[in-house]
């Protein structure tokens, strides 16, 4: 056990673990909030651009991550966001939304509109409908999104290696890579 203790202390794994936890958890909160609201708006609400917005996010699934790496780095460099939690959180949320919205909209399409119509007839406003009726009914879809996105974000190496160079901000994956060297 001494080797594990030494690796934890000498390798600064506690700092890397904390950084990964912050980046991942904050990203997950934003992903769940945005994907549930956008998914609900695209499936259950009637407005002019709902199909265009849904297709926009579906197209986002097809964008390879590597193609956006250099433009993102240049943008973060110009805005002085490299070596910050914000650069990873923005990137994680942006790349996590497409799949999450796809999963949420698929789940919402299976829900009958009668429940929502009954709630509106009983005097439920749009925000109350969303947070007190829709979200509790979507627990399974939200947990699915959380689990999938947690593993994607926690195991990310590409973005954390590109945007973070300070050792006190590195994530677990980047820390393990440098620790093994």
pLDDT, tens only, 110-130: 999 999 999 999 999 999 999
Q: Assign 10 a pLDDT band (cuts: 50, 70, 90).
A: confident
* pLDDT tens per residue, range 27-43: 999 999 999 999 999 99
Contacts for 101 with CB less than 8 Å, ≥ 6 apart:
34, 35, 38, 39, 42, 54, 57
**Cα 152 to Cα 143: distance, rounded to the nearest angstrom:** 14
| Structural contact between residues 58 and 102, judged by C-beta atoms closer than 8 angstroms | yes
Q: What is the pLDDT of residue 101?
A: 96
Whether the per-residue pLDDT at 131 is higher than 80: the answer is yes
Band (155; pLDDT cuts 50, 70, 90)? very high
pLDDT value at 181 more than 70? no
Inform me whether the pLDDT recorded for 136 exceeds 80: yes
Instruction: Name the pTM for this structure.
Output: 0.91
- State residue 180's pLDDT score: 65
Burial label, 15 (beta-carbon count in 10 A; 0-12, 13-18, 19+):
middle
Q: Report the candidate in 167, 151, 126 with the shortest Cα–Cα distance to residue 14.
A: 167
Q: What is the pLDDT of residues 54-113, one digit of tens each?
A: 999 999 999 898 899 999 999 999 999 999 999 999 999 999 999 999 999 999 999 999
């Amino acid at each position: 056990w001494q080797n594990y203790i030494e690796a934890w202390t000498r390798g600064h794994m506690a700092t890397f673990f904390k950084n990964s936890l912050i980046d991942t958890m904050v990203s997950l909160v934003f992903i769940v909030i945005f994907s549930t609201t956008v998914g609900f708006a695209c499936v259950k609400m009637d407005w002019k651009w709902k199909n265009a917005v849904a297709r926009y996010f579906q197209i986002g699934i097809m964008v390879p991550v590597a193609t956006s790496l250099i433009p993102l780095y240049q943008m973060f460099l110009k805005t002085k966001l490299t070596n910050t939690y914000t650069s990873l959180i923005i990137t994680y949320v942006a790349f996590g939304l497409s799949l999450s919205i796809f999963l949420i909209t698929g789940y919402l399409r299976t829900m009958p509109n009668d429940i929502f119509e009954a709630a509106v007839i009983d005097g439920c406003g749009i925000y109350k409908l969303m947070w007190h009726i829709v979200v509790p009914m979507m627990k399974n879809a939200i947990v699915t999104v959380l689990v999938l996105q947690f593993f994607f974000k926690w195991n990310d190496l590409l973005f954390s290696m590109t945007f973070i160079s300070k050792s006190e901000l590195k994530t677990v994956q980047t820390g393990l890579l440098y620790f093994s060297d």
